[in-house]
Homo-oligomer: A and B are copies of this chain.
């Protein structure tokens, strides 16, 4: 069943965006009494289409909520790479993405472009979340400066190409009970020494991801796959 995220809930009705209504009518060609899955406020409902394409709640579906929060801090990259990261991160369970201005990042966006881009990014995350049947859409914040990120709390990790000893695996084994993990991934040219030492003095732990040499857009997918795997329960 097709899944949509509602904008609001009013008594026993769910309010969808115009884009979603267009999708329902014109792409999916659905009619009165057809049912859809609708998520609002991390709650899943089965909704029924009324004559005027309002959505009436038919049923409330219990869902597991995973309380582990995964926050990714990513560099600004070319559009296709950003799009890939956002789509795949939503599939792989990210909670929040913070795009960060970094010294060696090649991409610079003026504020008008950045605003437009943010709307595009939110759309990609929403669509990927629908397709992956998530009950939430990952949050993406406006672009931040690294120096503004001093008050994040949680298990803070920076993927460093200079680190040789301290593996991601070791850090995860030693911090099994975390409820919030923050992972920063550097740009193509890597982080500067200055950026790394600022991060370390802000409580970030440097880790190596092992021997693979990955393109920068592959790194978040690698890390998210592993975080998901580590939280898999073995019976």
A interface residues, Cβ below 8 angstroms from B: 64, 84, 88, 91-93, 131-133, 165, 167-170, 173, 210-215, 218, 221-222, 225-226, 228-229, 232-235
Known: A92-B212, A221-B221. 6 other contacts (CB 8 A): A92-B214, A93-B212, A169-B234, A173-B234, A210-B228, A222-B225
- The 7 tightest CB contacts between A and B, nearest first, are A225-B225, A222-B225, A132-B213, A169-B232, A226-B229, A170-B234, A91-B214
Q: Which residue of B lies closest to A210 (CB)?
A: B232
The CA-CA distance from A213 to B92 in the complex, in Å, is 8
| A133–chain B nearest beta-carbon distance, Å | 5
| A185–chain B nearest beta-carbon distance, Å | 14
| Copies of the chain in the assembly | 2
Q: Are A215 and B131 in contact (CB under 8 A)?
A: yes
Q: Would A222 and B165 be within 8 Å (CB), given that A132-B213, A213-B132 are in contact?
A: no
Measured between beta carbons, the chain B residues less than 8 angstroms from A234 are 167, 169-170, 173
